Structure formats: structure tokens, C-alpha cells
Copies of this chain bind each other. A is one copy, B any other.
Amino acid sequence: MDLLFLGTSAGMPSKLRNVTGLALIEDQGKGWYLVDCGEATQHQLLHTPLSMHGLKAIFITHIHGDHCYGLPGLLASAAMQGRTEPLTIVAPRGVHEWLEATRGLVELYTPYGLDYIVTDSLDELVIDDMHITAHALEHRVPSWAYRFSQHAPKSLDKDKLEADGIPRGPIWGLLQQGLDAELDGRPVLAEQYRIERFPPTVMVIGGDNARPELLAAACHNAHVLVHEATYTTEVSARVGEEYGHSDALRVARFAEQVGLPNLILTHFSARYKPAGYPSPSMDDIRQEAEAVYSGQLFLAEDFARFRVGPDGSLHRV
């Protein structure tokens, strides 16, 4: 599974960073998921290998423009590119209504179906081997994190098969495919003989959020957390809590407390210049997080791509 950042700026685009968008890309095939869709996400995609035909679902964390204003254009372009597969959109209340208003008032045309799921009502969404849940955050408007848990293919539990006296042959073949079989008139259930040899790969992708600790449960066994760090503590104290954002220290402390192995910070205020420039710069964000976090830390950049290995390790590719 790869994470490809399409936008890493807070509020407004800058020359170097677009507003929020993140692609989760499957190892095999062309399937991918989009989390948030700020304006010009479709433009960013032009510079990636991703196609609108491979997009399996869109997840919106909250209704602020820098996280969803790219939806109408992206959906329209998917239509012009010939998409016919229905598309699932998981989003807080308001997004569905806005897209339908857009359709009615300014001619959004989507010949493919749109399946809307309101985030508030999401229990668990399963798409192929991906299990997705939503976790409430704290922001000026309802905001959510999405937890993506990718399950590895199951394989036969040969020890148990042999212990139970199930002979090798056609029965093993059926069970391997997940199909139930029969032996001497007794049912042999696939689910009892197939096991996950590897734990699922778990990635938690947060929306705007002032309280990282709300993600404690979601981050259980997670390999990666992607979280906003709009400010450093100094700026955070100056602008006050009214904007509902996190600073780098707050997120890093949380990640350390729950023992997260990998943390990717994103959604930076445009006041932070690139690393190497005089303060305020990305160096300030990094130093603040590194001071309290002992895991692997990355600061996201547009088009930075990270790979989560089958062992849950993370590296930039």
C-alpha cells in the first residue's frame, strides 16, 4: 500500500503546496482511494500515474473548502474520461447535498452512479480487502479520521486441517478459495481453516483536529498516522484555539504516548517556508515533533510517496 500526497497546505494553496488530498494506492492493479479533495486535486493527479478509472472510493474528512472544493471538477472530469463504474463517496452531511445542488444549478454531469455514505452513519465499509472505519475528531465543524485496515490474503491452516483429519486434495482446494466443503456428510467450513498469517496493515488518516488523543482507539495497532500539524506551539498559542487545529508538539506527543511507529505530519500553514529558510520554516515543525517523538517522522510534501511494507514498515519511495 502506498500513500501519495496530492496536497499538504492548510486553507489556501501556495506555489509549492496544494490544498488537501491524499491517495492510498493498492500494491497490485490500479485501484486507489482518495482522502479529501481540495480544489485542483484533479490537476495534481495529472502529474501521477493514477487514473479516474481506478478510483475505488472517496473519503471526505470535513466540509471545509480546502478539503472538498475539488469534488465537482474531479467528478466531471471522470465522466469526460469515460468512467462508468459507480463511485462511493463517504462524507459528512452537506457534501452529498452540495454535489446534488451543483448538479442541478451548474450542470455537474456524472453518467456513472454516485453512492453516498454519510460519515456519521458509517459502521464499517469493506471494499475488497480494505476495511474502513470513521473516528470523530474535534474541529470547528464535524471532522473525521478514516482508519484503513488492509487485510492480507488468508491461507490454509494446514496444521489444523491435518489435526482434524481433513485429507489433502479437492477439499483443501475448495477451502483455499474460501468455499465450504463436505467430508463424509459433515460440513467443513472455510472460515475455520483459513487464517491471516500477517496482521492487517493499518493506516489512520486524520482530518483537521485540535485533539489528537481522540484517535487513541483508532491508532491501536496502526502502522501509520497521517495528521495535520497546521502550526508550531508558538503560533498556535498566538492564533488561539478558535481555529480548531493541532500544533506539531501536540500530535507528536500523542504519537509517542500510543507508541505509533510512523507519523506523517501534513496540512501546514503557508507561513512555514521550506526547510533551510529562516524561521518560521518546516525546520521548526520538525524540531518540535522530533523533540518528543522517537518513532519515524516525516513531513509530507506534495507528490511525496510512501510505501507501507507487509511488515508494517514505512519508507519514502
Interface residues of A (CB under 8 A from B): 11-15, 18-19, 39-40, 42-43, 46-47, 63-66, 68-70, 72-73, 76-77, 80-81, 94-95, 97-98, 101-102, 105-108, 141
Residue ID in chain B nearest A76 by CB atoms: B65
Residue ID in chain B nearest A14 by CB atoms: B46
A64 touches B98 (CB 8 A): no
Residues of B within 8 A of A141 (CB): 107
What is the distance, in angstroms, from A107's C-beta to the closest C-beta of chain B? 5
What is the distance, in angstroms, from A315's C-beta to the closest C-beta of chain B? 28
Residues of B within 8 A of A106 (CB): 63-65, 68-69, 94-95, 98
- CB pairs A–B below 8 angstroms (26 shown): A12-B77, A12-B80, A12-B81, A13-B42, A13-B46, A15-B47, A18-B43, A39-B42, A39-B43, A39-B73, A40-B40, A63-B106, A63-B107, A64-B106, A65-B73, A65-B106, A65-B108, A68-B106, A69-B72, A69-B76, A69-B106, A94-B107, A95-B105, A98-B101, A101-B101, A107-B141
Please give 10 more A-B residue pairs, beta carbons under 8 A apart, in addition to A40-B43, A69-B76: A11-B77, A12-B77, A15-B46, A39-B39, A39-B40, A39-B72, A40-B40, A65-B73, A65-B76, A66-B73
* Complex Cα spacing A299 to B2, Å: 41
Residues of B within 8 A of A43 (CB): 13, 18, 39-40, 43
What is the distance, in angstroms, from A189's C-beta to the closest C-beta of chain B? 47
Residues of B within 8 A of A64 (CB): 106-107
* Complex Cα spacing A73 to B98, Å: 14
Residues of B within 8 A of A81 (CB): 12
B72 touches A65 (CB 8 A): yes
Top 4 closest pairs, chain A to chain B, by CB? A40-B40, A39-B73, A101-B101, A98-B105
* Complex Cα spacing A43 to B72, Å: 17
* Complex Cα spacing A144 to B252, Å: 53
Q: Which of B14, B46, B98 contacts A102 (CB 8 A)?
A: B98
